[in-house]
Amino acid sequence: MRNIILSMFAAAAALSLYTVAHAQDKTLTVYTYESFLSDWGPGPKVKEAFEKTCACNVKFVGVADGVALLTRLKLEGQDTDADLALGLDTNLVSEAKVTGLFDAHGLDLAAVKVPGSYSDDTFVPYDYGHFAVVYDTEAMKNPPKSLRELVDGDPSQKIAIEDPRTSTPGLGLLLWVKSVYGDKAPEAWAKLKNRILTVAPGWSEAYGLFTKGEVPMVFSYTTSPAYHMVEEKTERYQAASFAEGHYIQIEVAGILKGASEKELAKEFLKFMVSPAFQDIIPTTNWMMPAAKISGALPDAFNKLVQPQKTFLMGSDEVARNRQAWIDEWLTAMSMN
Amino acid sequence: MLLTRGERRRGIAWGLMSFASIALFVAIAVVALLSWDADGAQSRLFTAYTWRILRFTLWQAMLSTLLSVGLALPVALALARRPDFPCRTWIVRLLALPMGLPVLIGALGLIGIWGRQGLINGLLLTLGLDQPISIYGLSGILLAHVFFNLPLATRLLLAALERQPAEYWLLSASLGMKPLSVFRFVEWPAVKNVIPGIGALVFMLCATSFTLVLLLGGGPAATTLEVAIYQSLRFDFDPPRAVALALLQIVITGVILLGMALLPTPDDPGAASGRTSRRFDGQALSVRLWDSFAILAATVFLIMPLASILAAGLRANLWNLASSAAFLTAAWTSFSIALSAGMLTIVTALAIIAGREAVADMKKPAASARGFAAMLAGTSSLVLLVPPVVLGTGWFLVLRPLGDVGRFAPLLVAVINMLMALPFVMRVLEPAIETHRQRTARLSASLGLSGPSRLWHIDLPVLLKPLATALSFAMALSLGDLGAVALFGSNDLVTLPWLVYSRLSSYRTNDADGLALMLGIICLLLTILGTTGRRGAENG
């Protein structure tokens, strides 16, 4: 009998020791999009840099793309494991707030510098970039010079785009077309449809098709060519400058209300707007930093398209109309 | 009256139980769909988008059917006319291969051959054609549907042709009939009766096609109902739309099934390879050339994608892949789901068969009992009416309020896989058990053997083989399935097909190819195990 009691004590002691040991090893769970986590993306470096400062583990969970990330959080509701969602953009902010799943960050964000000096009590910007059509100079001699030229151009020259239902670039293109065409957007889509090789669920998929040579144009960012210039030393892939102006994307992260590691999540957001994080962004996520970096941007960034005009819709307007515009898009795109 | 009363009562109870659980499982899903925000669903039902999807679903299914059956006919005629064609047995076996291949893997092989970077487009480009053929959209879907259904249609047509008595061929030769007359008076009458049934079957398969359209659709213009249901849940999280589409899907499959029930069912192709009659017609050079062309073209069409899977898969670092944590976890998940699904299928099938047996054993079964037996048979095919994506959607809505759906996901996937395998497993087990009973029932009754001792001494030794066959068949189906897992797949639930799909969609194609090869081989081995065992059971 004594033996049993003793061994139970031992087990209890071991268990509590185990819990203590574990408590020191806190884990921050971050939901983000797929390309953030790829071997060449910012994920691995960010994890390493933050873990040095926090005595914790960073666990990244990848979802196809930014809109899918929000859908996933809606699906999981209050029970989500996520402490932090990284990879929504300003277009989705209002819709994300309406879910009631996010908590205000309560941080001072003077360090953040993004076009239009965007600031929000719940979401913190970590990078930005202008959307653009990126083309392969070897497959295309006369790239479109405006959105209208893209829509009206030769349908045999194809483009890979992203699905606005899953992807923030996809949604960006939808809003860009809406900004330029207004009520005539469905007609524009019906026409553009003939140029679309495939509608990929996420940016990685579309860009993968492009670099594999399956398609001469892809919907991406003005900053994408920098990757090829820096990493591959080639100017083969270029962004097309559009006369109407470019739609901008400001990517943000936010803390979940149900986060089990709320303090840690706040620490992460602070870290996110510090040079330690921002230095990683330009040459891994290939976007513009949202705060000061310690050095200068690589030369390649000076050779990129500099949009003359920037479109950005209010997040409330997007939240009000997203469903209707997606329905409109589906209807136009499903025309045979 | 060979069963004791207790046995009969137990049989009925088993049957009732399996019926009740399947019906409940399906009914809960359907009721959940029906009761979910009906107003929203109604407004979603009558949108231009919904109707376009419906139209495209039916349109591509019709084209796929016409192409598959239309192209299968010359191949089947040629194969029937040439019993001595070199490697004919192997060609006929090849026809069985696509059925056992997970759809996802087949699609990968097709992309390898017909994709922009594939063999065919490379060839066309060197020939000076500057517009590559696109595998995305309608053309890709049709191509893939023909790849999977042409062999099926060919086997069924061939079986019908080979059932014609040998005397017919002898007679037509001695009458000096030209090929056209042979076709008109001997061959056509043989295939005429089965073509509508085959057509309906292929139409059904194409109308409910999920994986191929998901992979090759390339946009909202080429979306079937099944894919649209999946997208409206996974992409939009728009349950009303999912519900509207799911209900539409049930109506469509219901109509097709009704049509199929009115048509004569084509015979099981299992027996196709065995009998061949000596043929005296078609000796003219032109006919010989035509037949060779038809057979070779079909063979090349089927072999190329398979070879491409093999070649691409071998290029990947298989050893690294096989020892990677991602593969091992996915393999373990897949295996446990497949094993549970397989066991569940066997138990359910046995319960259904026990129920039907008990009714059949009655001296004068009441109408209600006979109805019960028929209903049991129908239950096993319920999944055809309510497709996996619809079931998944319904259960998703039921479980969502209870918390994280991911926790229930493995169980749900296993049960849905079970329902998918049930119609096939029934076709293996029921005849086997029936034959076995006819042989041994009187003997065991006279020996007074019943219960466990009968099971152990009489049933198990004989039925072990068909049981193993059914299990391997069900497991192969579950291992290769993407449809059920697609709705629930997440970082916590990764099966092998889901892993292949996610690698593929992040364009780590090299990994995907390697994984595909491994998964394809496992599934084919299981299916081959299944079919050979089945032939043994039928002959033995």
What pLDDT was estimated at residue B6?
A: 80
The minimal CB distance from B507 to the residues A209, A330, A336 is found for: A209
Mapped onto helix, strand or coil, the DSSP state of residue B159 is helix
Q: What integer is the mean pLDDT of A85-90?
A: 92
The minimal CB distance from A204 to the residues B219, B404, B506 is found for: B506
A163 in contact with chain B, both atoms CB, cutoff 8 A: yes
Q: What integer is the mean pLDDT of A105-109?
A: 88
Which residues neighbour B92 within 8 Å (Cβ) at sequence distance 6 or greater?
B79, B155, B158, B272, B273
What pLDDT was estimated at residue B38?
A: 56
Question: Which chain B residues are within 8 Å of A205, Cβ to Cβ?
Answer: 505-507
Chain B (403-462) residues lying within 8 Å, Cβ to Cβ, of chain A: 403-406
Which among B369, B409, B367 has a CA at the least distance from the CA of B392?
B409
d(CA B18, CA B37): 31
What pLDDT was estimated at residue A150?
A: 95
Q: What integer is the mean pLDDT of B510-534?
A: 78
What pLDDT was estimated at residue B275?
A: 59
Q: Are B267 and B152 in contact (CB under 8 A)?
A: no
d(CA A83, CA B200): 51
Lowest mean pLDDT of A83-97, B25-39, B150-164, B239-253, name the range: B25-39
CB contact under 8 A, A334 and B56: yes
B491 in contact with chain A, both atoms CB, cutoff 8 A: yes
B48 in contact with chain A, both atoms CB, cutoff 8 A: yes
Mapped onto helix, strand or coil, the DSSP state of residue A89 is strand
Pinpoint the alpha helices (H) of B362-408.
Answer: 367-379, 382-385, 388-399
A141 in contact with chain B, both atoms CB, cutoff 8 A: no
What pLDDT was estimated at residue B7?
A: 79
Percent of chain A at pLDDT > 90 equals: 52
Write out pLDDT tens, residues A198-214: 888 778 778 888 887 88
Q: Are A84 and A126 in contact (CB under 8 A)?
A: no
State the Rg of chain B over Cα.
Answer: 24
What pTM did the predictor assign? 0.80
Single-letter amino acid, residue B360: A
CA of B237: which chain A residue's CA is closest?
Answer: A71
Backbone angles phi, psi at A247, to 5 degrees: -80, 140
B235 in contact with chain A, both atoms CB, cutoff 8 A: yes
Question: Which chain A residues are within 8 Å of B221, Cβ to Cβ?
Answer: 193, 333-336
Single-letter amino acid, residue A160: A
Q: What integer is the mean pLDDT of A225-229?
A: 91
Q: Which of A22-31, A38-47, A197-206, A273-282 has the highest mean pLDDT?
A: A273-282
Mean pLDDT of chain A: 87
What pLDDT was estimated at residue B303?
A: 93
CB contact under 8 A, B506 and A38: yes
Look at residue B268 and tell me whether its pLDDT is greater than 80: no
What pLDDT was estimated at residue B507?
A: 52
Look at residue A7 and tell me whether its pLDDT is greater than 60: no
Look at residue B392 and tell me whether its pLDDT is greater than 50: yes
d(CA A91, CA A168): 8
pLDDT grade for B71, boundaries at 50, 70 and 90: very high
Look at residue A260 and tell me whether its pLDDT is greater than 80: yes
Look at residue A18 and tell me whether its pLDDT is greater than 50: no
CB pairs under 8 A between A and B: 88
CB contact under 8 A, B237 and A71: yes
d(CA B106, CA B306): 7
Look at residue A2 and tell me whether its pLDDT is greater than 60: no
The minimal CB distance from A79 to the residues B48, B231, B404 is found for: B404
pLDDT grade for B1, boundaries at 50, 70 and 90: low
Which residues neighbour B187 within 8 Å (Cβ) at sequence distance 6 or greater?
B77, B80, B161, B164
Which residues neighbour B539 within 8 Å (Cβ) at sequence distance 6 or greater?
none
> Bigger pLDDT: B263 or A131?
A131
A196 in contact with chain B, both atoms CB, cutoff 8 A: yes
Q: Are B533 and B466 in contact (CB under 8 A)?
A: yes
CA of B506: which chain A residue's CA is closest?
Answer: A205
d(CA B152, CA B158): 10
Question: Which chain A residues are within 8 Å of B115, Cβ to Cβ?
Answer: 214
Mapped onto helix, strand or coil, the DSSP state of residue A21 is helix
**How would you classify the pairing of strands A84-89 and A246-256?**
antiparallel
Lowest mean pLDDT of A260-274, A302-316, B38-52, B154-168, name the range: B38-52
Mean pLDDT of chain B: 83
CB contact under 8 A, B506 and A34: yes
Look at residue B540 and tell me whether its pLDDT is greater than 90: no
What pLDDT was estimated at residue B404?
A: 65
A208 in contact with chain B, both atoms CB, cutoff 8 A: yes
Q: What integer is the mean pLDDT of B503-515?
A: 71
d(CA B409, CA B491): 12
d(CA B255, CA B253): 5
Chain A (16-75) residues lying within 8 Å, Cβ to Cβ, of chain B: 34, 38, 61-62, 64, 67-68, 71, 74-75
Look up tokens 């996901």; give the residue.
B409
Chain B (135-174) residues lying within 8 Å, Cβ to Cβ, of chain A: 136
Point out which residues pair with A123 in neighbouring strands.
A254
Q: What integer is the mean pLDDT of B313-342?
A: 88
Q: What integer is the mean pLDDT of B278-297?
A: 86
CB contact under 8 A, A71 and B235: yes
The minimal CB distance from B49 to the residues A62, A67, A334 is found for: A334
Look at residue B142 and tell me whether its pLDDT is greater than 60: yes
CB contact under 8 A, A79 and B131: no
What pLDDT was estimated at residue B539?
A: 39
CA of A335: which chain B residue's CA is closest?
Answer: B221
d(CA B422, CA A191): 46
Q: What integer is the mean pLDDT of B179-187?
A: 86
Which residues neighbour A206 within 8 Å (Cβ) at sequence distance 6 or greater?
A160, A161, A162, A169, A198, A200, A218, A219, A220
- Best probe of the A interface among B232, B506, B508, by most A CBs < 10 A, is B506
Question: Which chain A residues are within 8 Å of B511, Cβ to Cβ?
Answer: none
In degrees, rounded to 5, the angle at the alpha carbon of residue B335 between the alpha carbons of residues B331 and B339 is 175
Distance from CA of A190 to the nearest CA of B (A): 10
Write out pLDDT tens, residues B34-65: 777 656 656 666 788 888 889 999 999 999 99
Look at residue A216 and tell me whether its pLDDT is greater than 80: yes
Point out which residues pair with A196 in neighbouring strands.
A159
End-to-end CA distance of chain A: 80
A199 in contact with chain B, both atoms CB, cutoff 8 A: yes
CB contact under 8 A, B131 and A64: no
> Bigger pLDDT: B449 or A31?
A31
